[in-house]
Amino acid sequence: MQVQRESPLLHQAVACLIVAAPISIGAYWAYSARSPQSTHRKQRQGMSRSMLAALGCTLLLDFFCTDQYQPNMPDMAEDFNVAPVQMGATIQVHLFTSAIFMLLFGPLSDSIGRRPVILGGQALLTVSTLCCGFSETYSWFVVGRIFQGMAAAVTPVILSTIPDCYTDMAERLKHQGALATLMQLGPLAAPATGGFLADAFGWRLPFFILSSLSGLLLVFSFFVVEESAPPSVDVNYAACARRTLVDRSRFWILVACLFIKSFFDGLAGSNGIVLRRDLHQSLRGASVCITLMAFAGTVGSYIPAHLPWSALEALRACMGPLLCSAGFLAFTGLLYSDSLSWFMAATLFAEVAIWTPYVSALCQFTQGIEDIAGSASSLLTALSFLGSSLVSLLVVVLAETGAAGFLLALGATLLLIALSLWLGPLSCTLALPALPALPLTEDNQDNRVSWIEDCNLLEDCRLIEDCKDHNGPGPKTKPASCFEERESSAA
């Protein structure tokens, strides 16, 4: 079902809708900021299943919008009269836009609440996906992808609802894994669905269907998504960024997440092209292969929610599979890059192996900074998206050399992920010295706090963060009782 290009009135209506949507959403956010409800929020403990489903489906549809047209990229490039690499670059455009607006949406959600930002993002996804379906030229399609990137910028806001609602780290890991599993259903169904629908009716129909589903999700979320942000938060973004990144462990987790996102986006940007150009698969064959990759990712995302470990223990356990996967990709790229079986085996194993470190790193990142979870999550996601828009572009460029270059680039990305985790939370754990046996006096209290800060171990510093309300803000004013509590728990 191709859109008739000779319908200027319809296209003008869509263009007006694209312009009106951000203005209307901005007005809604301004109203939310002035509304009395936004200044009297209560922190919600736990999350209803319907709210978890709505949040997971928001992530699912965002991934679906990108992954469903991966197998169709060669045909879309021909339709728009552009090179295939330009169609792959639309993913990087989406990432870059998301990264920029994540820096705004995270602090905004700390200020006016999570609910208005999430609903606004869903509304923008509905309109932007419609714009992609009606696009007559490559430029119009890029505009639609830019607005889809703005809609995807609510991702860190959704992720921050987990630390809002759950204080126990095991519960966070469980529900973060549940969100990841719901999110992975998008990439699981999208390539096959988009490929088969495009083969039968043209590539525009999936965008129209997704726009309709996004509108239905917006209505559902309006009734089930509740406010979860804490009643009082620090919205000074510079202070939040400094507090987040001054910790060595968090910094390297951010770097690891940047390379993890680059792996996903590099794979998404080129796997359809590599499968059809280098491995000689048909449109339907490429769709099935990409669906199998997404299924492997769904299996991988299911694992963290059922591990009997903390996030830090899960990070330690996943290093072996991560390194094996990097070696497998490099081996396949060097010796068997022209074999579909080896190509699929290497990428499927990588999709399974990468999810445990990803989910565990996300959980570990907000440990001890729950009061600024929105700003911290936006910083993590924005910088990882921004970095990925550059790193994954290198993967896309290397994929132009063939399947071998594509696989070697993916293997190198996994090695960089493992190195970042080793330099961050894992090395901090191994290098942790013994707590100095000093008497609890006013003279040496600051030194003991400095020692704990220098360890850069979030789990070890948790008790100090928990004591922050005992004697005002800032870790250097904590009373001796905090250290006594820490020593008794360590014993």
Residues 405, 464, single domain; the answer is: no
Q: What is the pLDDT of residue 475?
A: 40
Q: What is the pLDDT of residue 73?
A: 87
| Mean pLDDT to the nearest integer, 152-163 | 89
Residues 271, 346, single domain; the answer is: yes
Per-residue model confidence as pLDDT tens digits over 430-462? 544 444 444 444 444 444 434 334 443 333 343
First-last CA distance in the chain: 69
Say if 221 falls within a structural domain: yes
Residues 157, 186, single domain; the answer is: yes
Where is mean pLDDT largest: 136-140, 265-269, 291-295, 404-408?
Answer: 404-408
CATH no. for residue 284?
1.20.1250.20
Q: What is the pLDDT of residue 241?
A: 82
Residues 75, 111, single domain; the answer is: yes
How many distinct helices (H) and strands (E) make up the chain? Answer: 21, 0
Residues 481, 410, single domain; the answer is: no
Whether pLDDT at 489 is above 50: no
Distance CA 5, CA 284 (A): 27
What is the count of structural domains for the chain? 2
Concatenate the DSSP letters of all residues of 394-429 into one string.
HHHHHHTT-HHHHHHHHHHHHHHHHHHHIIIIIHHH
Residues 327, 467, single domain; the answer is: no
Say if 242 falls within a structural domain: yes
Per-residue model confidence as pLDDT tens digits over 300-358? 888 887 888 888 889 999 999 999 999 999 999 999 999 999 999 999 999 999 999 99
Say if 435 falls within a structural domain: no
Q: Does residue 146 contact residue 140 with C-beta atoms inside 8 Å?
A: no
Identify which of 315, 303, 135 has the alpha carbon closest to the alpha carbon of residue 208. Answer: 135
| Mean pLDDT to the nearest integer, 346-372 | 88
Residues 6 or more apart whose Cβ sits within 8 Å of residue 164: 43, 44, 114, 228, 229, 230, 370, 373
Residues 259, 318, single domain; the answer is: yes
* Share above pLDDT 70 across residues of the chain, in percent, rounded to a whole number: 81
Per-residue model confidence as pLDDT tens digits over 54-69? 999 999 999 888 888 8
> Cβ-count burial of 441 within 10 angstroms (0-12 exposed, 13-18 middle, 19+ buried)?
exposed
Identify which of 79, 378, 77, 369 has the alpha carbon closest to the alpha carbon of residue 246. Answer: 369
Q: Does residue 425 contact residue 249 with C-beta atoms inside 8 Å?
A: yes
Say if 9 falls within a structural domain: no
Q: Does residue 92 contact residue 389 with C-beta atoms inside 8 Å?
A: yes
Distance of CA 416 to the CA centre of its chain: 18
Give long-range contacts, CB 8 A cutoff, 24+ apart: 130-135: 130/14, 130/17, 130/207, 130/208, 130/211, 131/14, 131/17, 131/18, 132/65, 132/207, 133/3, 133/204, 133/205, 133/207, 133/208, 133/211, 134/3, 134/10, 134/11, 134/14, 134/204
Where is mean pLDDT largest: 16-25, 151-160, 227-236, 379-388?
Answer: 151-160
* Residue position matching structure tokens 């698969």: 281
Q: What is the pLDDT of residue 190?
A: 83
Average pLDDT, the chain: 80
Residues 152, 281, single domain; the answer is: yes
Residues 450, 425, single domain; the answer is: no
Distance CA 346, CA 244 (A): 35
Whether pLDDT at 2 is above 50: no
Where is mean pLDDT largest: 125-129, 233-237, 298-302, 484-488?
Answer: 125-129
Q: What is the pLDDT of residue 420?
A: 95
Where is mean pLDDT largest: 13-17, 72-76, 287-291, 413-417?
Answer: 413-417
User: CA geometry: angle at 101 spanning 73 and 34, to 5°?
Assistant: 135
Say if 5 falls within a structural domain: no
Q: Which amino acid is at 19?
A: V
Q: Which of 112-121, 176-185, 295-304, 436-445 has the lowest mean pLDDT?
A: 436-445
Say if 2 falls within a structural domain: no
DSSP letter for 304, please: G
pTM metric for this prediction: 0.68
| Mean pLDDT to the nearest integer, 147-151 | 92
Residues 302, 449, single domain; the answer is: no
Residues 225, 163, single domain; the answer is: yes
Region of residue 368 (left: phi > 0; alpha: psi -120 to 50; beta: else): left
Residues 6 or more apart whose Cβ sits within 8 Å of residue 40: 231
Q: What is the pLDDT of residue 327?
A: 97
Domain that holds residue 461: 442-490
165: enclosing H helix or E strand: helix 155-165
Whether pLDDT at 275 is above 80: yes
Say if 136 falls within a structural domain: yes
Q: Which of 86-100, 282-296, 371-385, 392-406 has the lowest mean pLDDT?
A: 371-385
Q: Which amino acid is at 84?
A: P
Q: What is the pLDDT of residue 291?
A: 82
Residues 310, 451, single domain; the answer is: no
Structure tokens at 148: 């889809």
Say if 434 falls within a structural domain: no
